[in-house]
C-alpha cells in the first residue's frame, strides 16, 4: 500500500526555470492538496482538488498551477521559479471520512 | 478565517519526564477537528492524536493525551514518559468538519528530549 507518492524528493532549480512536482495516490481519495512548508513554519495550502477536473486556490497559490485529470494524480507546476519558492512541498489526500495521508515531501531549492 | 497559535517555539524535557505543548486557535465554527502532528527530521508528517470538537472527552493515544478546552479554544498536548524518539517538531492543526477540508497549521514547537 503505497499511499501518497511524491517525486522527486529533492530538486535544485535555477531562477526562471520550470518544473512539475508529481503526486500520486492509490487510495481512491477524492480530495487532494498541495502544501508548502517554509523553514521553521507550519504548512500552508497552495491548491486543492475535490475531484477529477476540479481544482481551487488555497492560501498561497501565486506562482503555481495544478491540474487534476485523474483521481490518482495531482501535479503541481512551477512556471518561472523564484527564490521565494524555495521550500518543502507536501502533497496529501483525504477521504470523505477525514482520513488524511501526507506524502514524504519534496525539498526544492531555487538558486 | 481560522488561525492556530503555538506560543512555544522550542521546548526541552528530560527523558522519562512529562511535557505539555500549548496550542490555541480561533474559529467561529462549532463543529471541527483538532490534531497534533509530529514531524521528525525525516520530514514525514505523522499523526499523533485527533480530537473531535463535539466530544467532551479528551483524546488519548498511549503516552499522548490532550487537554481540550472548547470554550477557551485551547488544545494542549501532554507527552508522558518522554522518549528520545519523541524529539521532533510538533504542529497543532485545525480542520473544519465538512468533507474535503484542508488543515490550518500552527507554526510548530520544536521539542528536544534530553538523555
Strands (E), A52-103: 54-57, 64-66, 76-78, 87-94, 100-102
Q: Which residue in chain A has the smallest CA separation from B42? A: A104
Residues B105, A102: C-beta atoms closer than 8 Å:
no
pLDDT, tens digit, 9 for 90 and up, residues A77-106: 998 999 999 999 999 998 876 678 999 999
Residues B108, A42: C-beta atoms closer than 8 Å:
yes
Distance, CA of B22 to CA of B7 (rounded, Å)? 7
The pLDDT of residue B64 is 97
* Contacts of B44-49 spanning 24+ positions with Cβ under 8 A: B44/A102, B44/A104, B44/A105, B45/A43, B45/A90, B45/A92, B45/A102, B45/B91, B47/A100, B48/B77, B48/B90, B49/B77
Beta-ladder partners of B88? B111
Count CB neighbours of B39 within 10 A.
22
Calculate how close chain A gets to B115, using CA atoms only, in Å.
24
Mutation for B interface: A88, A100, A108, most B CBs within 10 A: A100
All residues of chain A having their beta carbon less than 8 Å from the beta carbon of residue B106 are: 42
Banded pLDDT at A26 (limits 50, 70, 90): very high
Task: Find the CATH number of the domain harbouring B77.
Answer: 2.60.40.10
The total number of structural domains in chain A stands at 1
Q: Strand A106-110 to strand A10-13: parallel, antiparallel, or no bridges (unpaired)?
A: parallel
Domain ranges, residue A47: 4-110
The total number of structural domains in chain B stands at 1
Task: Find the CATH number of the domain harbouring A55.
Answer: 2.60.40.10
pLDDT, tens digit, 9 for 90 and up, residues B26-38: 999 989 999 999 9
Domain ranges, residue B90: 3-114
Chain A within 8 Å of B93 (Cβ-Cβ)?
yes
Which three cell numbers mark A41?
A: 513554519
Amino acid at each position: 500500500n503505497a499511499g501518497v507518492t511524491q517525486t522527486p524528493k529533492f530538486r535544485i532549480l535555477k531562477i526562471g526555470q520550470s518544473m512539475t512536482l508529481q503526486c500520486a495516490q492509490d487510495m481512491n481519495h477524492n480530495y487532494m492538496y498541495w502544501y508548502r512548508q517554509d523553514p521553521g513554519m507550519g504548512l500552508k495550502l497552495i491548491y486543492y482538488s475535490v475531484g477529477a477536473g476540479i481544482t481551487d486556490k488555497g492560501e498561497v497559490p501565486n506562482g503555481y498551477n495544478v491540474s487534476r485529470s485523474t483521481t490518482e494524480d495531482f501535479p503541481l507546476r512551477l512556471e518561472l521559479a523564484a527564490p521565494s519558492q524555495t521550500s518543502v512541498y507536501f502533497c496529501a489526500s483525504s477521504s470523505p471520512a477525514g482520513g488524511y495521508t501526507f506524502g514524504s515531501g519534496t525539498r526544492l531549492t531555487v538558486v | 478565517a481560522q488561525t492556530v497559535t503555538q506560543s512555544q517555539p522550542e521546548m526541552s524535557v528530560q527523558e522519562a519526564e512529562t511535557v505539555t505543548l500549548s496550542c490555541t486557535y480561533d474559529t467561529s465554527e462549532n463543529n471541527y477537528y483538532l490534531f497534533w502532528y509530529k514531524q521528525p527530521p525525516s520530514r514525514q508528517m505523522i499523526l499523533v492524536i485527533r480530537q473531535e470538537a463535539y466530544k467532551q472527552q479528551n483524546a488519548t493515544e498511549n503516552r499522548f493525551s490532550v487537554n481540550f478546552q472548547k470554550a477557551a479554544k485551547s488544545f494542549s498536548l501532554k507527552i508522558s514518559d518522554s522518549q528520545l524518539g519523541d524529539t521532533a517538531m510538533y504542529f497543532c492543526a485545525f480542520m473544519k468538519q465538512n468533507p474535503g477540508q484542508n488543515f490550518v497549521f500552527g507554526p510548530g514547537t520544536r521539542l528536544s528530549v534530553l538523555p
